[in-house]
Chains A and B, each alone.
Chain A
């Protein structure tokens, strides 16, 4: 490989090299410009290319493979890659904003800030996993906060695209990741589990909430494995200001067994956006880590279990979707809400990992003053919530799998659509009243949700009597799921 050393003022493939803004162990970042690109851009160039460190080269190959395939606000926009044989580089958007790394100076952060940051990063992971990519190196320095507020993930050198060959598979002699943040299954050399990103995000949140790394900074290979047997000190022990629900969320992310963590980042984001609904388990109240005896038990149980490359889990939420059920509790709509429940039961029968969010909109009036109490002096909001829970009770779901939300809003359709978007809902079940000419002309809540929701919407109707032929034919078409 013969090439000119890069320096400020030189030009490669039309990119003019500006100032050097970062020199790291793996790569150097340069500000660059090209006449046809207005946005601020940077060129990332691997540092040790002629050395022996194959992981650096392969990691860079990985980034060159994955970054061009990603899009959206949660990753840097991609512009160009350089030919590996001549001068490998990646040109990408320069993200204006702050690295989460800079927040560490202020740790412990107030719990509400940790929650809101966690929700942003979880949302970024939802977007990344939806594109079949696992980051596998989530840590403060790899998360940028855009000026517009969203979290953007950077550095895909250890990432895995689930539909493409894993170029790093051959480097499996050592676990790949960053010591303090790496998930137990990554230590056991499994690079195919989306929930590894949830674990690392848990470490990040723990650190920001307590100013202590849950597993310190492991110096040796062997000490990496400590996290497999020994639980971290519960964060509330280190910072009593942390509320129980936040400890619940963080410790659930840090479960050694991926099955005990959140199944998807969408479910984690859901809890972080609805902290009052987090179901508290033993995790929330723990003030002691597991005993030495318990750690020994786990250690013995794990003897002989060696990891290695495994079939990747699907990163999409097909197995653990969030389904929102828009429940109309009006008295004349009982048949419809029964039918809706029947449909939810059908979904539950086929998808054991599904999580149900029951939503009811308490419609506010535009004209009159809204009273929070009804004629008999009961709080309307609380009353609605009680009714909603009553509606959901026959489903027989444990608390972690069903949540109830009453939203006050002037426009029910807008409220439902916003809720679905903000909570990464995978599917909406909504009842539609029997068709009528008036409704067809004016449009119903259900039809607006069908038109505008960011996901699949299933419209549920009460089966019609065979006598009402005209309407039945009409509803046949309306019953089809929207795309």
Chain B
């Protein structure tokens, strides 16, 4: 089975559509949304509708911190433009969509794999995996062989042997990487809707359960259109500008 992991869509309709079309061309059998469907982008309603449609056909989705904040209208701890975007998102979503978002689970376990938005040691603390020690904390707190997460908007792959610290591998291109069975793996997806690794292309990941290989994909999309909508919605300008440079 080929599983696509899409994380941090953040209301970016154009990026989501481009990635979904790409998954069809790549013969993906199942979609997993790793949280942060909304926040920042101008199309939260569209994104929530598409994800709900996909879930009716077997897709999985988990909760992200922006989903929780946008659905509950709780924005403490957020920076100014994130808060502005979340308040706008809260008002844009109808009650039904907000209820849907709050109903999303914190994590899902499936065949030795763990799906979680931020990291495994304390999923609801929304900590960021920015370095080896954060990756180690997450890896040691789960028995699952592979953890799939998002949240940091930068694709990374950590691997760890039982008695050793993990090692970071920054994916180069889309070459399928075998997740060798003797060690644990933590696959951090890049962002579909707001990449921050200085590459503006939408990022998502395909994992093949038969070959045990992961492939980090990048997809071009209509950034101009996504940015214009952010301007038109009078959301903070920086949210549009950063799409073009991927940071």
Q: Is A348 an interface residue (CB 8 A)?
A: no
Contact B180 A64 (CB under 8 A): yes
Which of A85, A163, A166 has most B Cβ within 10 Å?
A163
Stretch with Cβ within 8 A of A (4 or more), from B9-17, B34-42, B171-179, B190-198: B171-179
Contacts of A327 in B (CB 8 A): none
- In the assembled complex, the Cα of A167 lies from the Cα of B96 at a distance in Å of 47
Binds A, one of B98-106, B156-164, B238-246: B156-164
B167 contacts the other chain (CB 8 A): yes
Q: Does A147 contact B (CB under 8 A)?
A: no
Contact B161 A165 (CB under 8 A): no
Q: Could you say which interface size class chain A belongs to?
A: 10 to 19
CB within 8 A of B178: which of A85, A164, A166, A169?
A164
| B contact residues around A127 at 8 Å (CB) | none
In the complex, the answer to whether B173 meets A163 with C-beta atoms within 8 Å is yes
A170 touches B175 (CB 8 A): no
The contact size tier of chain B is 10 to 19
A392–B182 Cα distance when bound, in Å, is: 57
Q: Which residue of the partner chain, among B159, B165, B172, B182, contacts A163 with CB atoms under 8 Å?
A: B172
CB-based contact A164/B177 at 8 Å: yes
Q: CA A85 – CA B180 in complex, angstroms?
A: 11
A84/B180 in contact, CB under 8 A: yes
B126 on interface, CB distance cutoff 8 Å? no
Given A165-B159, A167-B159, A170-B161, do A85 and B167 touch, yes or no (CB 8 Å)?
A: no
The residue from A84, A162, A163, A164 contacting B181, defined by CB atoms under 8 A apart: A84
Cβ contacts under 8 Å, B128 to chain A: none
Q: Is the interface of B mostly helix, strand, loop or mixed?
A: loop
Whether the Cβ atoms of B180 and A61 lie closer than 8 Å is yes
B81 at interface (Cβ–Cβ under 8 A)?
no
Name B182's contact: one of A57, A164, A166, A169 (CB within 8 Å).
A57
- Give which listed residue, A58, A61, A163, contacts B175 with CB less than 8 A: A163
Please state if B181 and A65 are interface contacts (CB–CB under 8 Å): no
Determine if B161 and A65 form an interchain contact, defined as CB atoms under 8 angstroms apart. no
Which chain A residues lie closer than 8 Å to B161 at the CB level?
54, 58, 170
> Complex: how many Å from CA A85 to CA B212?
14
Known: A84-B180, A85-B181. 12 other contacts (CB 8 A): A57-B182, A58-B161, A61-B180, A65-B180, A84-B182, A162-B172, A163-B173, A163-B175, A164-B175, A165-B167, A165-B169, A167-B159
Task: Please list 7 pairs of residues, one from A and one from B, whose beta carbons are closer than 8 Å in the complex, sorted by A's number.
Answer: A54-B161, A57-B182, A61-B183, A83-B181, A164-B177, A166-B167, A167-B180
